[in-house]
Amino acid sequence: MIQSGMDPELFEQFIDQLERYVRERLIPAEREVIENDSIPAPILTEMREMGLFGLTVPEEYGGAGLNTSQYARVVRTMAYAAPAFRSIFSINVGMFNSAIKNGATEAQKAEWWPRIAGGEIACFGLTEPGSGSDSAAMQTTAKPDPGGNGWILNGTKRYITNAPQAKVGLIMARTEKEALPKNAHVSAFIVPMDAPGVSVGSADKKMGQSGAQIADIILEDVHVPGDALLGGETGKGFVFAMKSLDNGRISVGAASTGYARRALDSALRYATERKAFGEPIANFQLIQQMLAESETEIYAAECMMADVTARADRGENILRKAAAFKVFASEMCGRVVDRVVQIYGGAGYLAEYDAERFFRDARIYRIYEGTTQILQLQIAKHMLRDFAAGV
């Protein structure tokens, strides 16, 4: 199925407006975000009014109806500013919306799409204290409610992005001890975060990405109605989650690419202003080498993003390529910010300069939505499977 998305001319106008907003509004607000570890309420209101929380929701449900290529460009544009600004809406337009699109009933779409398009913040509950990529180790359970047609959920989810602000969570839970086919024991539930029995832990202290809050979600005898089961069918939760993660990995890859560009622009400016031996350090060839290597790698990531998102819009299976893009872009961003610290020299180690923050912020990109190592295993597994099948 081909995703047409927003009218191209209108979308380019939107991107131009967004770029100005990032530079004129978001970047000046970064210090406040860092000091308070939260996004200012007025900016959240502005983001809702701009429609950022419903970018990929169909127009008939109140969203902008962007296709994957357009969505990734918005993420890359927003990621030029502090990561918190992308993080707050990324679950809505990425994993949560993807799961609703791929697996929800018509009634669930009618209820939740307008709500998230209107700015209700969503979270995605897969990871647990003892399980992340390994769904077989999942401990959260959903058992039929003996008093009705609903379910009772118990368990803990860990490192959940936006949990402190979320109004709704897509929670993965075990509905069977084990089941075939593989992972059919996991189902997905749409859970309002104000449901009795749902509690959220204190926001975790992190290495970087100030303002992008994560926390535990604790579920204690949480009663949800039967229509909270995504798609109305058990055993599909892990499938929905994995399809959603393709979208999430594109988001992280796009964010890595946008933030690497921000860091490189900063280094370029510093190298032309900072003088040593009577001339700008930008004149030194080994500084130029680091700048050129960074530009080359960012361009490669931009090309990967354009390719994988175009394939997604054509309806192709992008599991392997989305994983490859996320791996390359996140590792690339890590290399770029490391070079940026080196270009800044001693100043790059000081908190008063941006290079130190770029270095800390970028580190998580190689971990969440699938670590580099897990994704490398996944890529290789699918390569070997396709080879054996003669594909």
The full set of domain ranges for the chain reads 8-120, 123-234, 239-388
Q: Is the pLDDT confidence value at 237 over 80?
A: no
pLDDT at res. 184: 74
Q: Cβ distance 137 to 130 under 8 Å?
A: yes
User: H-helix or E-strand containing 21?
Assistant: helix 8-21
Percentage of residues in the chain having pLDDT higher than 90: 81
At 130 the three-state DSSP class reads coil
Give Cβ neighbours of residue 204 (< 8 Å, ≥ 6 apart): 159, 213, 214, 215
Task: Report d(CA 387, CA 37) in Å as an integer.
Answer: 48
Query: Are 123-234 and 239-388 in the same CATH fold?
Result: no
Other CB atoms within 10 A of residue 170 CB: 28
CATH class of 123-234: mainly beta
Asked which of 117-131, 192-206, 334-348 is least confident by mean pLDDT, the reply is 117-131
Q: Is the pLDDT confidence value at 181 over 70?
A: no
What would the mean pLDDT of 295-302 be, rounded to a whole number?
A: 98
pLDDT at res. 218: 97
At 37 the three-state DSSP class reads coil
Other CB atoms within 10 A of residue 330 CB: 30
Percentage of residues in the chain having pLDDT higher than 70: 97
pLDDT at res. 149: 83
Let me know if domain 239-388 sits in CATH 3.60.60.10: no
Q: Cβ distance 225 to 147 under 8 Å?
A: no
pLDDT at res. 32: 96
pLDDT at res. 103: 87
CATH architecture of 8-120: Orthogonal Bundle (1.10)
pLDDT at res. 5: 85
Instruction: Report pLDDT digits (tens) over 375-385.
Output: 999 999 999 99
Q: Establish whether 9 is a catalytic residue.
A: no
Instruction: Report pLDDT digits (tens) over 124-175.
Output: 998 899 876 666 678 999 999 987 889 999 999 999 999 999 999 999 999 9
pLDDT at res. 143: 94
pLDDT at res. 381: 95
pLDDT at res. 137: 78
What DSSP designation does 4 have? -
Among the listed residues 120, 128, 302, 369, the single catalytic one is: 369
Q: Is the pLDDT confidence value at 306 over 90?
A: yes
